[in-house]
Structures are given as structure tokens and as C-alpha cells.
Structure 1
Amino acid sequence: MQADQVPTTTAVADETPASDQLREIWATLGGAPALLDACGFGRSGELISAFRVTDLAAAAIGAAGIAAAELLQASTGRLPAVRVDRRMASLWFGMSLRPLGWKMPPQWDPVAGNYRARDRWIRLHTNAPHHRDAALSVLGCAGEAKSVALAVSRWDASALEDAVVSRGGCAAVMYSRQEWAEHPQGQAVASEPLLHVHTHGSVATRDWQPLSDRPLRGIRVLDLTRILAGPVATRFLAGLGAEVLRIDPYGWEEPGTVPEVVLGKRCARLNLKNPADLDVLRQLLRGADIIVHGYRSDALARLGLDAAQRRELNPALIDVSLDAYGWSGPWRCRRGFDSLIQMSTGIAEAGMRAMHGHEPVNLPVQAIDHATGYLMAAAALRGLTQRMTQGAGTEVRASLARTAAVLQLRPEGVSEVAEIAADTPSDRAAHVEQTSWGPAARLLPPLEIEGAPLAWRYPARALGAYEPEWSSSNDDL
């Protein structure tokens, strides 16, 4: 970093938008307010949006950093300093991987996107083959954007949303913030806390203490997550030294995101419809310290692994789960993704108005996903601290729709602060990451925890590259 690039660090005690959001997030997590003094923010610039996306990025990453610092303090008696780089936080909310001599697959299916129905806009999410098939079966058209646009134009948006969802697909009508506030699901989400946190006292626990330089060495994380919030959470935990084992079904791929989010993880496959593979998952669950899952709230229950059954298998478990549209209300089991949440909750409509446009304007990055991921990681870390100090197991539930409400608490309007510039070689780690897809560079981490730098043991590897078993050794970097 050149001399003229040295950041000015802002203490969290100063009333900046990012520190204000961090204070709210940390209170929801149940953390002691005094710990916030350990966190500072550096560098300037903004992701240009109708909302303060960079502030949310810095606050969410800061919460995860403070949670790691708290864990270390509980073990060593010393609270390390935490520093968030606002510029790098903004960039990591986009993509952290920079391929060298190859290209990342497209992030979006050609059919995915915003379409004008007869009465208003609607978004179709078709990245998964079965979601694409559901939308096309309703529309009765070819799988290319022009045909889809013509077919959508013949529908009322709400009727099309209902039809696609009933076929197992994913769609979202664009509402204004006021319309969402009046919607039954919007009202249900507004009544929920940012995170549902419940502790289970007097549980069996492991004889484990965090290391000062690798806080999560010796911790096992069972990762049952997909695009995008859950994988962000477990990637962060891997960066602190946890052994993360991700499980996917056979045949499942996420070509546009896997190289980005499997950093530091071992990825295996199981067919959970097969009793033998389901039993393997149960055994993995018994050996886990943390489970992070993004299945719909009824999916694991159908496998005989609802929250109570998971707790019975592993009383000391830190159990962190994600739902798209919240944990109550008529849409609580509805499939959803960041871009759909932006449409439903009024974010895309506010962006359209702020940009004086005539079509939905989504956030410049999938900020709801990323922010929720860091909140989930922070909750998992706080769960470890409580287990270590109080013998408590923890259950945490997050939702994309509730995180969206945090972003919307701040006044709308495009910031006049300078836009974040594209990354340069000085923003990237010196070593080359040998991924399954080719060599790549990673951006420098957006967070510094004094004495415990983020570092990942494994490069990004393809789904299914490992066996579904815990490593016999947790040797670390």
C-alpha cells in the first residue's frame, strides 16, 4: 500500500452509518456493547446504489470480526483489535476470485431476469435446471429471453408468480416498500427479530480452546448450504481455521458461484434419499460442532432431521439455519434468492425511482446474501463462545427478507461519495490459488483480526472432490 493510500481508521464509537448498523447487528446477536470499541473502519468509497450497501458490508463483516475477537478474549483474556477495510468489504460482496487465464462461467442463466408482465414487473430465477423447467412449463415457450418476454407480457404478474411457485419454481413480483409493508408476508417479516437466537443450557461439550492465531482450529463445520449466504458464512469460518465439510447431492452444480465460495472447504456428495447416505449424514452431524444449512424450513424435517432431532443427535451443536422469506407468515417455506427478495421487499423499485428509470434496478452486488452470510458466521462464533463459557448449545435462524429490512432502514438516495474503483493487482494476495478450474488470484481479506489473520487451508475445489468424512487430521496453515 502506497503512503497516500494509508486508510484513516474510524472507531466504531464514532457515529458513522456503518458503525451505527454494526451496533444494531451486535445488539441482535446479544453481544456486550463494550466489545464494539475494538472495531474500526478504514478507507473510503461506496458501491453506488439507492441504499448504503458499503455500510452494510462493513457492518456485517465487522460483526463477524468482533464475534471472533470475543471468542479469543473468552479464552485468552485479551481482546484483539478488529479492522474492516470498507473498500475490500465492498469488493468481497461482489467476487473475490480473479481467474488467471480462464473465465468464470456466467452467473446467470440466459432466461433469468426481470420481465414486464401486463400490469407490473416480475423476476424469474432460473439458474437451477428444475427452476428453469418450472418457469418454462408455465409460460409454454422456448427457453430464450425474447420468447420468455413475449410470454410473460400476456400474464398478470401476481398470477404468473403464483403459477411458477406452485410448479416448484422461483419468481417475484416487484413491490414498492409500502406495498411490501402491507403484504401479509411483509408484515410477518417485520414482526421477526433480525436473528432468532435460542440457547440450550447444560449440554455436553468438547474439551476445546481456540488458538490465538487460528481461532477455529479443531472445530468441525457441517455445511449444507447453496447459493449464496450460507456458503459465505462457512467460507469465513474456514478462514479462521475451521474444518468445513460441504455436502451436495449428486448432479448438483453451481458453475457461476462454486469457485468463489468453496475456498477453504472440502466438498463431498451424498444422496439423502438413500438410507445409507442419510445415515452417513447423521454420523457427520454427531461429529460436528456447527451445522449451517440453507434448506427450506421443511426440507430437513422430511428427512427426519428437524431441529429437535438434530439436537437429540448432538446436544452441544451450534445450529445455524437460513430461510429466504422469514420464519413465519404465508411464505415461510417459499423458495427465494437475493434477487427475488430485492423485488419483493421494494429494493428494486426504490432503485428504479432513485435512478429515474422505468425498470427494476437491483443492487450492484448480492448484498443481502453476503450480509446474511456474515451475520450467520457471527452467530456461529457467538455460539461457540457461549458453549465454551456456559456449556450452552445454540440455535440461530436468519432470513434474507429480514436482512433486507436492515438495508432499508437508512434513507434512500444515491450517495455522493466517490464510487469504489475496480481492484488492481495491489488488492490481490501474492500467492496463486490452484483451483479445480485453473490458477487464480484472491482479493486480500476485508478484515483484520489482530494476531489471527484470515487464511484458507484449501484452494477452491470442485463439488464432490472429497469423501463425505471428517478429516483424520486438522493440521492447519
Structure 2
Amino acid sequence: MRDFPSQNMFRVIPGDHWPSCYAVAELANRSLAAVGVALAELTNATNLSAQTLPITLDQRRAALWFRYSFRPQGWEMPNLWDPLAGDYRTEDGWIRLHTNLPHHRAAALNVLDCNPEPEAVRDAVAHQPGDALEQAIVAAGGVAAAMRSAAEWQAHPQGQAVASEPLIAWTNARPIHMRERPSATLERPLAGLRVLDLTRVLAGPVATRTLAAFGATVLRIDPPGWDEPGVLQDISLGKQMSSLDLRTDHGRDQFEALLAKADVLVHGFRPGALEGLGYDGPKLRKLAPNLIDVRLNAYGWSGPWAKRRGFDSLVQMSSGIAERGQRWAAGGQITPDTAAKPVPLPVQALDHATGYLMAAAVLNALTKANQGDPVGDARLSLARTAHALATLTEHHGDDSSPAVPLMGALDADYSNRIEQTSWGPGHRLLPPLKVGKTTMRWDPPATASGTAAPNWPG
């Protein structure tokens, strides 16, 4: 699969959408539909169904799942953002600092040489050019992105590199022989599939959460003591959350034993990072010759920024999305001295869409393997998804009525079932996708990192 599925391949139940100058609803529809199309093809390839299954997508639910899927009952969610994270005015524009992780926060403060307070950061940033500050923070091991227009990104070497990459790139094609999965059924077509999850916030976890929805056994491995406050409640759904220290011989031995029995590896390491741990392509294939490998990064797999750390909000700043949103929100009246802030997408759409495309890539690889075709490693990036978003326009089908802006989830959008998570009870959004009679369903509730043993069940 190289592009989004065409609109005639799935049926959309019309609904509200997030207000934006970008086709966010269409991105949600197309990326989730990619999962549905790939799953339907897999059910045919594995003889679970002899006919082409209809794919139905609920647009309102798809949009809501692009924000947050869980609502706590009787307790409060932790704050998603560090107090220093956000957009700051530079002497020539805007820059976004991402400081949620302690070492990223420390890198930014080291460059800015100021107190760890928003006001102090604001003053320190205000007198510096955006590009130079971005480069200094990145060089110090932090993450930041100066705001660029779409035209500036298209002229940038990294923007040009991303534009030349496919939406899903396949490399190192080889024969893969899949294990028999006798527990797989039309209702749970991925039952028995072992997915080793090495991902963090947010696209990769969305991918593995999606695979779990159709029956896959997902084992996520984090470093000891790892936490993602306000995030794990959303994306650990349906997974076994374990931890290993790959810096120790014992941890590496356990990891390699898990890898040897895995069917799928999903990870979000920057190019060269996994190799730096001693697990390059040849080593992975030696340990697990029939492994399906799907990976992502922030800024693409070629060009000068291929190894740059990044997150959805930063890619939006770099690629022109936030700048176009700024002009849209201001009615186009932007001048060099305007105080209008960058306006990102209303949800972290690059993360969610890329996550669903990663899940679709896994399903596509499974289909190829079952058909006896060579299977390659799949590579995706947030920046390439941003490039795809820029080409989309909202599709309203035969419904000519004006689209209704989505303001948030209502009680009716949630399941009545109470989910007992590691943090407390709550309710999960109703699933957005149906393939024939196959619906998305998660058996284990969301749990904290390190709550499961690093073993495959059975």
C-alpha cells in the first residue's frame, strides 16, 4: 500500500469534524479506512472469509479517537504537558519547545541559560532568531521547531526529501513464513499474532493498540520506571505492559528471547538508534528470520534531518501546518509584528493517522506473507503524513449540508462498560471501524508500564 484507499472502498457514516483549515476529518477517515481495507484483504488471504467484506467507518467516532479515547470516572487525568512546553515568540517568528521528557527539558534550559519558569523562558527566547535557537537546542540533545511556512518547508532540503518519499516505504523484501494461528477467527482475525511493541508517544502506540483491537497479543517493552502521564491511559489499551533494561546482559537476553518468538516488531527509533543498541537488520533477521518490521520516525528517512528527534507538534511547526493555521485563524491578516500565535491542528492528527497507517502496513505485510510474496520492512514518518494531509480536501459524499464543527465527546459517544484501568475506572469511546462483522474490541484494560511480566502468554 502506497496511498490512502479510494473513497469507493469504504462507507462513511457522516458526522461532525474538528474545525481546521486542513482536511483533518478526511485524514481520519482515510487512515482508519486503510486499516479496514488491509484487514479485509487479510481475511481473504487467510481464508477466514471467501468474500470481500464491507468496511464501515463512523466519521464522528473516528474524529473523536483522533483526540483521546478514555474518560475517567471519579478521578482526574494527569496533565499531558510540562509547564515549559509550548510556543514562544522569537525575534523573527515563533518556536515550539517540547520539554515533556526530563532530558529534553534540561537541554532546552541549558541552551537558554535561564530559570525553569515560563516567564524566564519567554524572555530568553524573545531575543534570539528562531532557526539558530532551534539548531542549538537540537545540537544539545533537545527537541524544538521554529515555525516555517509551507513554501519555506517545500524549499528546505528536508521538506524536499520528505516529498520524494512514499507514504509507506518498503525495503529489504524477503520471503517470510508465518506461523499457523489456529485461534484466528473472522471475529478476531489477529488472534495468536505476537506483536513486540517498542514504541512511545504517540503514533506507534496507536498502531499497536489498533492491532490489539482485532485480537493480536501486544507486548510493549519500556525501560524500568518509564511513564507517560496522561498518555498511557489512552494508548496502553489491550496491551501487556512490561519493562526491560537493554543496557544489561539479562535484559538483552530476555529481549532476544521475546524477539525470537515475535511475529511483528513495531518501533519508533530514529535511524541508527536500534543499530546503536546492537540490533541492526542482519542481527534482527538472524534472531527472528520471519519477523515483520514496521518502524517510524519524525522527519523522514532521507535528508539532513532523518535522525532528528521530533514529535507531532514539532513537525506541524516545521512543515507549515501551524503557520497556515495562524493565517487561517487571523483571516489572512498576518504581519511581521502581529501577536497571533501559531495555530496547530485541533488534534495530534499526524500521530494518529501515522499510527493507523502503521497498523495497515502490518496487515498488508501479513497478507503478502500468506500469499507467498516477498515482504519488506515498512518505514513511515510524521513528516510524510503531513505532506499527505496537505493534499487532502474534505469529502462530503452526497451530503451537501454544511459540516458541523465537533466540540468534544458526549456521554453517548462512550461505551457503557466500565474499564478498570491501573489508575481508576472510566469509559472508553465506542469503536469507529467495522469490517464485515468484525468489530474493534479490547480485552485487557489500559495498564501502567511494568505491570506485566516480559513473557509471551501460553
TM (norm. structure 2) is 0.93
| Partner-residue secondary structure (3-state), 2:227 | coil
How much does 1:126 deviate? 0.5
How much does 1:199 deviate? 6.0
Q: Is the 8 A contact 2:192 2:217 kept in 1?
A: yes
Q: Give the Cα–Cα distance (whole angstroms) in 2 for the partners of residues 439 and 449 of structure 1.
A: 29
Specify which of 417, 431, 453 is matched with residue 403 of structure 2.
417
Question: In the TM superposition, what whole-angstrom CA distance separates every residue of 1:336-358 from its partner, at most 9, and x where no partner exists?
Answer: 00000000000000000011162
Determine if the alignment matches structure 1 residue 233 to structure 2 residue 207: yes
Determine if the alignment matches structure 1 residue 208 to structure 2 residue 181: yes
* Counterpart amino acid of residue 262 in structure 1: S
Unaligned runs of 5+ in 2: 335-339, 395-400
Q: Give the Cα–Cα distance (whole angstroms) in 2 for the partners of residues 37 and 393 of structure 1.
A: 27
Q: Give the Cα–Cα distance (whole angstroms) in 2 for the partners of residues 152 and 308 of structure 1.
A: 45
- Matched with 1:385 is 367
Specify which of 243, 249, 264 is matched with residue 275 of structure 1.
249
Q: Give the Cα–Cα distance (whole angstroms) in 2 for the partners of residues 370 and 196 of structure 1.
A: 18
Q: Is the 8 A contact 1:201 1:390 kept in 2?
A: no
Q: Give the Cα–Cα distance (whole angstroms) in 2 for the partners of residues 129 and 23 of structure 1.
A: 37
Determine if the alignment matches structure 1 residue 120 to structure 2 residue 113: no
* Counterpart amino acid of residue 89 in structure 1: A
- Matched with 2:397 is none
| Partner-residue secondary structure (3-state), 1:395 | strand
Range moving further from structure 2, 434-443 or 192-201: 192-201
Change (3 A) 1:308 1:95: same
- Matched with 2:18 is 47
Specify which of 408, 414, 424 is matched with residue 438 of structure 1.
424
Q: Is the 8 A contact 2:178 2:263 kept in 1?
A: no
Question: In the TM superposition, what whole-angstrom CA distance separates every residue of 1:436-469 from its partner, at most 9, and x where no partner exists?
Answer: 0100100100111222111111000000001111
* Counterpart amino acid of residue 168 in structure 2: L
Q: Give the Cα–Cα distance (whole angstroms) in 1 for the partners of residues 146 and 265 of structure 2.
A: 33
Determine if the alignment matches structure 1 residue 192 to structure 2 residue 156: no
Q: Is the 8 A contact 1:205 1:391 kept in 2?
A: no
Q: Give the Cα–Cα distance (whole angstroms) in 2 for the partners of residues 139 and 203 of structure 1.
A: 50
Q: Give the Cα–Cα distance (whole angstroms) in 2 for the partners of residues 402 and 316 of structure 1.
A: 27
- Matched with 1:163 is 136
Change (3 A) 1:273 1:103: same
| Partner-residue secondary structure (3-state), 2:128 | coil
Question: In the TM superposition, what whole-angstrom CA distance separates every residue of 1:167-214 from its partner, at most 9, and x where no partner exists?
Answer: 110000100000001111111111111111236343343123641110
- Matched with 1:337 is 311
Q: Is the 8 A contact 1:315 1:393 kept in 2?
A: no
TM (norm. structure 1) is 0.89
Specify which of 353, 377, 389 is matched with residue 327 of structure 2.
353
- Matched with 2:455 is 469
How much does 1:365 deviate? 0.2
* Counterpart amino acid of residue 105 in structure 1: P
* Counterpart amino acid of residue 25 in structure 1: F
How much does 1:388 deviate? 1.3
Q: Give the Cα–Cα distance (whole angstroms) in 1 for the partners of residues 255 and 96 of structure 2.
A: 35
Q: Is the 8 A contact 1:223 1:247 kept in 2?
A: yes
Q: Give the Cα–Cα distance (whole angstroms) in 2 for the partners of residues 308 and 370 of structure 1.
A: 30
Q: Give the Cα–Cα distance (whole angstroms) in 1 for the partners of residues 373 and 147 of structure 2.
A: 46
Q: Give the Cα–Cα distance (whole angstroms) in 1 for the partners of residues 365 and 43 of structure 2.
A: 13
Identity %: 49
RMSD: 1.7
Unaligned runs of 5+ in 1: 1-21, 27-32, 473-477
Q: Is the 8 A contact 2:13 2:57 kept in 1?
A: yes
| Partner-residue secondary structure (3-state), 1:330 | coil
Q: Give the Cα–Cα distance (whole angstroms) in 2 for the partners of residues 242 and 313 of structure 1.
A: 21
Q: How does 1:294-309 map to 2 (within 5 A)?
A: 294-309=268-283
* Counterpart amino acid of residue 61 in structure 2: M
- Matched with 2:76 is 103
Q: Is the 8 A contact 1:316 1:387 kept in 2?
A: no
- Matched with 1:317 is 291
Change (3 A) 1:99 1:168: same
| Partner-residue secondary structure (3-state), 1:352 | helix
Question: In the TM superposition, what whole-angstrom CA distance separates every residue of 1:101-126 from its partner, at most 9, and x where no partner exists?
Answer: 11111111110000011111000000
How much does 1:421 deviate? 4.0
Question: In the TM superposition, what whole-angstrom CA distance separates every residue of 1:268-317 from its partner, at most 9, and x where no partner exists?
Answer: 11111112211211111111111100111111101111223212221211
The total of aligned residue pairs comes to 441
- Matched with 2:446 is 460
